[in-house]
């Protein structure tokens, strides 16, 4: 789960300078629980799941409902 | 009762509908139920529009109605069915949302397994764009409570995603390597 573990077992030859810095940051964040990379991943997934629905067209039933409510004042 | 709802308020209501739906789906994990929740919320909102002060935060007001509706239904259901949580979780795991991308599917399931209050806090702050303060008002609790719920939710998601996430670690490591150090 922690990226630093992945880095350690991964190809050290692949390590770019930026990655080393990221590694240090992740280790620091571990004191608070999650690596910042995993937090970022969760944040992106969360927004992706939310936005996927938010981008869908509004179902007609809701627009119709508002129209009905408007005509009758209130319903139900 | 509300024969004279201003056109601008009605437009604003329509404008928040997509977000409201997204909140409902994220919260209850079931699209059909989510749309029932939205419908109920719209009824209630319409019939209580006089208690909404125009110019204040319509989105937060609508989200509050929706989550109150959701939680009161959950409480009712829990009284009716003793292991409501168990049956709910089982239903979720056997009936995953069909519309989603596969890479979001694991995430949705992990999200659905969070305790209600943690899931709510995480969605409000992490996806719906509310501040901790606004989220606290919507959930009717202290800011500190929201913060700790968000933290616990993140940690729990991290565990469940990380536990099955060796692929993810690898993919992320290579993504980071190619993206360079500029990120967050």
pLDDT tens-digit readout, B97-128 = 444 455 788 899 999 999 999 999 999 999 99
pLDDT at B183: 43
Count of alpha carbons within 13 angstroms of residue A37, beta-carbon side: 31
Question: Is the Cβ pair A47, B126 closer than 8 Å?
Answer: yes
Residue B76: per-residue pLDDT? 86
Q: How confident is the model at residue B9 (pLDDT cuts 50, 70, 90)?
A: confident
The candidate with the shortest Cα–Cα distance to A52, out of B109, B97, B114, B38, is: B97
Smallest CA–CA distance, residue B127 to chain A, in Å, is 5
pTM above 0.90, yes or no: no
In this complex, do B173 and A46 lie within 8 Å of one another by their Cβ atoms?
no
pLDDT recorded at residue A74 = 54
Q: Distance between CA atoms of A43 and B32, rounded to whole angstroms?
A: 25
Which of A35, A41, A55 is the best residue to mutate to test the B interface, defined by the most B CB atoms within 10 Å of its own CB? A41
CB B66, CB B24: distance < 8 Å = yes
Q: What is the mean pLDDT of chain B?
A: 83
User: ipTM, 2 decimals?
Assistant: 0.76
CA A1 remoteness from chain centre:
16
Q: For residue B107, which residues of chain A lie inside 8 Å, CB to CB? A: 42, 45-46, 48-49
**Is there a contact between B24 and B37 (Cβ–Cβ < 8 Å)?**
yes
Nearest CA in chain A to B41: A62
Q: Which of A19, A58, A74 comes nearest B177 by C-beta?
A: A19
**Helix, strand or coil for residue B29?**
coil
How high is the pLDDT of residue B126? Answer: 96
A60 touches chain B (CB under 8 A): no
Whether A43 and B23 lie within 8 Å, measured CB to CB? no
Confirm or reject contact between B159 and chain A (CB < 8 A). yes
* DSSP string over chain A: --HHHHHHHS-GGG--HHHHHHHHHHHHHGGGSS-HHHHHHHHHHHHHHHHHHHTSPPPHHHHHHHHHHHHHSS--
Our CA-based measurement puts residue B166 at a distance from the nearest CA of chain A, in whole angstroms, of 7
Nearest CA in chain B to A18: B181
Q: Which residue has the higher pLDDT, A36 or A13?
A: A36
Any chain A CB within 8 A of the CB of B172? yes
């Amino acid at each position: 789960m922690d990226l630093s573990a992945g880095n350690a077992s991964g190809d050290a030859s692949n390590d770019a300078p930026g990655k080393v810095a990221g590694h240090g940051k992740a280790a620091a964040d571990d004191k608070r629980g999650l690596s910042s990379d995993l937090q970022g991943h969760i944040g992106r997934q969360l927004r992706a799941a939310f936005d996927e629905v938010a981008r869908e067209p509004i179902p007609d039933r809701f627009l119709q409902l508002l129209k009905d409510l408007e005509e009758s004042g209130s319903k139900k | 009762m509300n024969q004279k709802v201003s056109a601008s308020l009605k437009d604003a209501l329509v404008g928040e509908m997509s977000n409201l739906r997204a909140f409902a789906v994220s919260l209850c994990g079931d699209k059909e139920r989510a749309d029932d929740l939205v419908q109920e919320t719209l009824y209630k909102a319409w019939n209580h529009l006089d208690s909404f002060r125009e110019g204040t935060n319509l989105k937060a007001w609508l989200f509050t109605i929706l989550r109150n509706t959701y939680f009161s239904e959950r409480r009712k259901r829990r009284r009716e069915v003793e292991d409501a949580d168990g049956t709910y979780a089982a239903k979720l795991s056997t009936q995953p949302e069909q519309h989603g991308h596969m890479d979001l599917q694991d995430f949705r399931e992990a999200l659905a397994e969070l305790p209600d209050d943690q899931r709510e806090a995480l969605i409000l702050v992490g996806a719906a764009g509310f501040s901790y303060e606004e989220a606290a008002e919507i959930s009717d609790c202290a800011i500190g409570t929201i913060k700790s719920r968000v933290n616990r939710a993140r940690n729990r998601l991290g565990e469940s995603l990380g536990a099955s996430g060796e692929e993810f670690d690898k993919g992320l490591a290579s993504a980071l390597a190619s993206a360079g150090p500029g990120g967050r």
